[in-house]
Amino acid sequence: MESKHQHWDFINYFQSAEYSQKFLKKCYQKLGFHEADTKSYDNCYSFMYYLEQGELYYKQALNSPISLQPILLFYGYIHFIKAIVLTEDPLYPETTQVLAHGVTSRKRKKQHYHFLQDEVKVQKNGLFSHFSTQVFHAKHIIGEKLKMEDLLVQLPELEEAFTLLLNKHTMVWFNSRNELALDEELLNRFHMSKDLFKQYIKEKISGDILREAEDKLSVSSAREQLPFRWHMDKDRMALPSTRNEAGTIPEVLIHYAILYNLSMIARYETEWWVELLKNRTNEDYPIIRSFLKVTTQKAPYLLLDILKQKM
């Protein structure tokens, strides 16, 4: 991937109706859409404005107190997602069903509530399921309940927070050559023999990406390739050591689900949210704060990288 600092500059290329129209036309022709010329003209301004508004929300979040950040980040996030959906679905939004958020949060209990134990449920209809189906063909998560901790431990940038606060080592790291050592520590974590672990990984990753040796596995590039994750600042790959349903979900969907839940809390659970920020009684606060710092930088980078792959 290119330097993480270039992703905002990338948006500027699309602040031209002519360029955006040509880009969308190329996307639609690749899809085999028969009205590529017409729909690219129809959609180019929506595409431009989604990107522009997404950037504005993110930049406003950088200058806002933490109490408002989840709301601003979530709305910035879904604007970027809508721009990406327009590259895959020329008719978006074809029905009102795809306009909903696509995930729901459960009713919260006022006492003994812990964010890490909270869940969201993926709905059949809405932007989340439409985006995940159009871009990742990930229909398997529709209807699933996703626990916040299960999602958060999939993010390699949060390993230090989980290690220090909860004594949970969440990642097994590749070396700088994108190699994963098949040592005793790794095999014990996964309760597998070396051969069984190799088989487990090969069932999930295509052969042209994965390279196999006697005592290690390697991948061709530092880019998320499930179940492997990518650390943005270190530019290193990692394998989450906890296996759960979240391990099958692309990282951009993980950010969506967590940001949705935090934005709902910030909007509608004001008492709990403000008490958390002021009193900081448990590990929820430092983990949420760490996540917000990570997602502010990484999430738009991951989303805009999806667009870069289409150029």
- Please write the tens of the pLDDT for every residue from 12-23: 889 999 999 999
87 and 10 in one domain? yes
Q: In the predicted model, what is the mean pLDDT of the chain?
A: 91
Look at residue 9 and tell me if it is in a domain. yes
Tell me the CA end-to-end span of the chain in Å, nearest whole number. 14
224 and 175 in one domain? yes
57: pLDDT strictly greater than 70: yes
Give this prediction's pTM.
0.94
Q: Which of 9-13, 127-131, 183-187, 290-294 has the lowest mean pLDDT?
A: 9-13
Give the pair of three-digit tokens for residue 128.
């989340």
Look at residue 290 and tell me if it is in a domain. yes
Look at residue 75 and tell me if it is in a domain. yes
Residue 112 pLDDT: 77
Split into its structural domains, the chain has a count of 2
90: pLDDT strictly greater than 90: yes
Residue where one domain finishes, among candidates 211, 241, 271 = 241
* Residue range(s) defining the domain that contains residue 279: 4-100+250-308
Best-predicted range by mean pLDDT (1-5, 148-152, 216-220, 304-308): 148-152
